[in-house]
Chains A and B, each alone.
Chain A
Amino acid sequence: MTALLARFRRKPKPQNDESYYTAGQLALIKARFKRKTSGVVAAWILATLVLMGFFAGFFSPVDPTIRGADAEYRRGVPQPIFFWDDNGFSLRPFTYTYTKAKSKIDLKALAGGGLDALDAFTASGALTSSSQNRFEVDKEQRRYLQFFVKGWEYSLIDLSVGGLNLDLRWDRHLFGVEQGQIHLMGTDEDGKDVFSRTLHAIWVTISIAIVALVVKLFVSLFVGGVSGYFGGRVDTIMMSITEAVRVIPPIPIYLACAVALAQLDLTPVQRYFAIALVIGALDFATLGRRLRTHILTERNQDYVLAAQLCGSGTWRIIWRHLIPSFTSYIIVDTLINFPYVILAETSLSFLGLGLTEPVNSLGVLLQKAQDPDIQQNMIWQFFPVLVFVCLIMAFVFVGDALRDAADPYSEKK
């Protein structure tokens, strides 16, 4: 039956559509991917997030580092954008002016009255942290949003290699407000803008994942390639080691390595790469095994024998036949693994062993969610959590749709 169906699927292509026939593997995957609505939607969301993360400087209105911290607006609530309010409609979106509330401590009463007054004072909550983020909104004083405003200077793309200075810098931002800063998602306890921090964190996290995945790819390719190509005793030894590594839970291992890294005196950038390296290098078991099986099956395919009989040498077979046969597979697998690597990074940062403040990474920002103070009084600091979940969901959906579109084993006839 399947043969029959497959036949029907193949045959009735419209003759004039030459593109189908001349389409390579990746083009076919793309065409099949486009049929999955959920995957396409997720891909757009993902692309938007990644783009915003990559050009975080442009998209964020406030400098996310301590330099840009708003000392006057610590622990500040989000400043939403309005188009209209009681005072009328405005085509240009605006926000209000927020000023820090002065704590109204009745000093006189406190000085004069005994315990009663003290009790009342404590009960009023003036000393609790929640009172510290009380702000007054001046609805009369609108601050209008401006686009492409001049602001702090940032590096758009840094192409500097070696001594070459190709750091492209810019100081325009997508939006900002007149007078002061806008904090779309509020600020944290230092007055740093949560929205801008989150945008910057996206790219940090994704770039760690990219580095980790590239390292992982090389290690897996080495393990799988050597094992699959040489076979025999080499294969047995390599696979026993892989099997042993697969058995040990990875997060504790990452932890141990992270602790060891903490001993070394590393700059944040070095630390960043070291962590990516550790995550990537230790995660070779699954992909390595798969690549090995893939090479083993692919090596026994008729077309490889055909190439041999055509007089192709070993390197030509590897280069022209074997490697192309799993590039699409590797690309898909890498994309599918993105969320898991990100999860590993965030888990480490969450435990305080990955990246740490003041670096912006999603893990670092997520770690704050653990703080009861933030849980109770600064719920807006959960914004990175939301972005994080969206990002991972988008990755998972895209990965899943891709897997369906490019099932590496589906084309075996």
Chain B
Amino acid sequence: MNVSRNLLEIRDLTIDFHTDEGRVRAVENLNLSIRPGEVMGLVGESGSGKSITAKSIMRLAPGNAVIQHPSQITLNHQGQEVNILKLRGRDLRLVRGDAVSMIFQEPMASFAPAIRISDQIIQTMQIHLGYDKDQARRAGIELFDRVGIVDPAKRFDQYVFELSGGMRQRAMIAMALSTQPKLLIADEPTTALDVTIQAQVLELMMELREQLGMAMLFITHDLGVVSKIADNVTVMQRGEVVEAGSADRVLFQPQHPYTQRLLDALPHLENLPEAPQHTPQPLLSVKDLSISYPVSGNGRKTELFTAVKNISLDLPEGQIIGLVGESGSGKTSLGKAMLGAAPISSGHVEYHHTKKKVKFGAGKAVKRKRLARTAQLVFQDPYSSLNPRMTVRDIIAEPLEAMRLTKNREETDQRVIEVAQRCHIEVEHLRRFPHAFSGGQRQRISIARALVCKPRFIVADESVAALDVSIQAEILSLLKQLKDELGLTILFISHDLSVIANLCDWVCVMRYGELVEQGTVRQIFLDPQQDYTQKLIASIPLLNSPEGRSQRSPSLLQVAEQFAGSGLNYSQLERI
């Protein structure tokens, strides 16, 4: 492939950040090129430098970022090579909308909250296309229609918070497309969305790409998503490219161990664990459980919001049970209710085979200390769940000291060190404060705290959602190990089906506060009975096999390349 035919070419990109601790290298000698019409997947975890790379293309790098000298970013615009890093003033509009536009991760935050979406889109069109207001408006509504927004004329004039999550991202896409760019940068466009909506948005993006033939730089940490959409993949780790090549090559014959690790984190439906021979005894039973929260309804009177409706459930002992659902399905409420931390409006929770009877529910208060010795919680957010003013030792020792389970300080320290070693926390670190730790390490502390009083049951509420894939894998293997060693029962709440598939023995699916289906992992993932479960399973971004990938029309890609640089816009392309 002729080098000059590349739409975008990044050579030796090196970026430093000025921080309080001095210079920190964010990106080192990055090379990347995108041909017209090509979809490039840029994969990496947080801190790998992928976002800052994308922002440098649009010259949006923050003030403390320094793009070092030999770096070069060139854009092929109407037959001319433009050095992006030298652009100034009004010329910057070339990469800010004209030829390049961007979809951000959080659509809610990327629309100005107090300005109508219509005004923001019209303004963009006026700047780049020179449309007048009516023309821009018509084009905008058309775009809204095109990205699959129902009732586009009405939605067009709304504010961003009035749209639902999926609609927002569609609006964001419409906004990005409104200037008819040649290169679309999508920065984790589906990460913040629920699985089913994620699948819809991906579908839409693929469709648009086929229709419009623009090039795309698709940034994500999820190889499954990349496999669906990208032609070529670049994998970054700590600011450096570790592997690059065609999607088929990188995803199916990975060379670098890091890529391999990322791939391992994807669900492997072909070797799901076997169901145990005999069904174990239930550890706890939930009977007709409903949970209601008071919400202030428009200031007139308080209404009750029922998060969980009449659920009955037995959790088998010694297994990891996955609780799956999309946001708002009531899964967290259910998990917290099992720990007596949610307002139960009817029904009860009962633990079996405990020394002292643990049973609570509507009209029956929780015996906090008994429960605390039986069941513990590992939180979702590793930052807010650790008191920033206590040392790690104090945090882990909290249950022991609060319930006076040990005789003296020495015994407490002994127990803390023991559990810390089990959770792979270095003993010297016990004197430190939580702010000194990364997310993964904090989550270990959180697990250690949960384990220190030797409970039999642990609820892990989205405990790996805030972590990077490779760290997720570490925490998950720790949980598995703990289950095997200590015979723990773990309720693992997650929206992420890949994690569930890799970890759990038994799976429950929730939707709108109701239990949709439960069964072994194999039953749920391979033979789902309910419509909703089927839909959910189908939207997991699995690796597409090479055969599946080749179904994408290659002709269109060629057409796009042919017309690249000739000032063709998408409306023309569509007619071909």
Contacts known (A3-B46, A21-B432, A413-B381); A308 close to B20, Cβ less than 8 A: no
CB distance from A35 to the nearest CB of B (A): 8
* B384: A residues at CB distance < 8 A: 301-303, 412-413
* A305: B residues at CB distance < 8 A: 341, 377, 379, 385
The answer to whether A21 touches B368 (Cβ under 8 A) is no
* B429: A residues at CB distance < 8 A: 21
Docked complex: A9-61 residues within 8 A CB-CB of B: 9-14, 20-25, 28, 35
Contacts known (A1-B51, A3-B46, A321-B387); A9 close to B19, Cβ less than 8 A: yes
* A308: B residues at CB distance < 8 A: 341, 368
Contact with B along A297-332 (1 / 0, CB 8 A): 000011101111111110010001100110000000
| Measured CA separation A14–B398 after assembly (Å) | 30
| Measured CA separation A282–B408 after assembly (Å) | 47
* B51: A residues at CB distance < 8 A: 1, 4
Is B438 among interface residues, defined by CB-CB distance under 8 A? Answer: yes
Q: Pick the contact of B389 from A10, A14, A21, A24 — CB < 8 Å?
A: A24
Contact with A along B381-401 (1 / 0, CB 8 A): 101111111110000001100
The answer to whether A8 touches B24 (Cβ under 8 A) is yes
The answer to whether A411 touches B433 (Cβ under 8 A) is no
CB distance from A195 to the nearest CB of B (A): 43
Is A5 among interface residues, defined by CB-CB distance under 8 A? Answer: yes
Among residues of B, the one whose C-beta sits closest to the C-beta of A305 is: B341
| Measured CA separation A5–B64 after assembly (Å) | 10
Among residues of B, the one whose C-beta sits closest to the C-beta of A300 is: B384
Q: Pick the contact of B399 from A4, A11, A311, A325 — CB < 8 Å?
A: A311
Among residues of A, the one whose C-beta sits closest to the C-beta of B431 is: A22
Which of B369, B435, B438 has the largest number of chain A CB atoms within 10 A?
B435
Contact with A along B48-79 (1 / 0, CB 8 A): 00011001000000101000000000000000
Contacts known (A9-B20, A311-B403); A25 close to B372, Cβ less than 8 A: no
The answer to whether A302 touches B47 (Cβ under 8 A) is no
Interface residues on A, range: 35 or more
Is A108 among interface residues, defined by CB-CB distance under 8 A? Answer: no
Is A233 among interface residues, defined by CB-CB distance under 8 A? Answer: no
* A3: B residues at CB distance < 8 A: 46
* A23: B residues at CB distance < 8 A: 433
CB distance from B525 to the nearest CB of A (A): 31
* B402: A residues at CB distance < 8 A: 307, 310-313, 316
Docked complex: A277-308 residues within 8 A CB-CB of B: 301-303, 305-308
Among residues of B, the one whose C-beta sits closest to the C-beta of A9 is: B19
CB distance from A8 to the nearest CB of B (A): 5
CB distance from A128 to the nearest CB of B (A): 62
Is A7 among interface residues, defined by CB-CB distance under 8 A? Answer: yes
Contacts known (A303-B387, A305-B341, A311-B402); A8 close to B381, Cβ less than 8 A: no
CB distance from A189 to the nearest CB of B (A): 55
* A411: B residues at CB distance < 8 A: 388, 435
Chain B: residues with Cβ within 8 Å of the partner, total of 47
Contact with B along A90-129 (1 / 0, CB 8 A): 0000000000000000000000000000000000000000
The answer to whether B62 touches A5 (Cβ under 8 A) is yes
Is B26 among interface residues, defined by CB-CB distance under 8 A? Answer: yes
The answer to whether A325 touches B389 (Cβ under 8 A) is yes
CB distance from B110 to the nearest CB of A (A): 12
The answer to whether B388 touches A309 (Cβ under 8 A) is no
| Measured CA separation A25–B391 after assembly (Å) | 11
* B436: A residues at CB distance < 8 A: 13, 20-21
* A303: B residues at CB distance < 8 A: 384-387
* B8: A residues at CB distance < 8 A: none
CB distance from B55 to the nearest CB of A (A): 7
CB distance from A315 to the nearest CB of B (A): 11
CB distance from B47 to the nearest CB of A (A): 5
19 contacts between A and B (CB under 8 A): A5-B19, A9-B19, A9-B21, A11-B47, A21-B432, A22-B432, A22-B433, A24-B433, A25-B433, A303-B387, A306-B386, A307-B398, A307-B402, A308-B341, A309-B372, A310-B398, A311-B453, A313-B402, A325-B387
Q: Show the binding face of B for A, using Cβ within 8 Å.
A: 17, 19-21, 24, 26, 46-47, 51-52, 55, 62, 64, 339, 341, 368-369, 372-373, 376-377, 379-381, 383-391, 398-399, 402-403, 429, 431-433, 435-436, 438, 446, 449, 453
Starting from the known contacts A4-B51, A305-B379, 9 additional A-B residue pairs (CB-CB under 8 Å) come to: A1-B51, A5-B17, A21-B431, A21-B436, A22-B391, A307-B387, A309-B341, A310-B453, A320-B390
Q: Which 6 A-B pairs have the closest CB atoms?
A: A413-B383, A311-B372, A21-B436, A302-B385, A21-B432, A312-B402
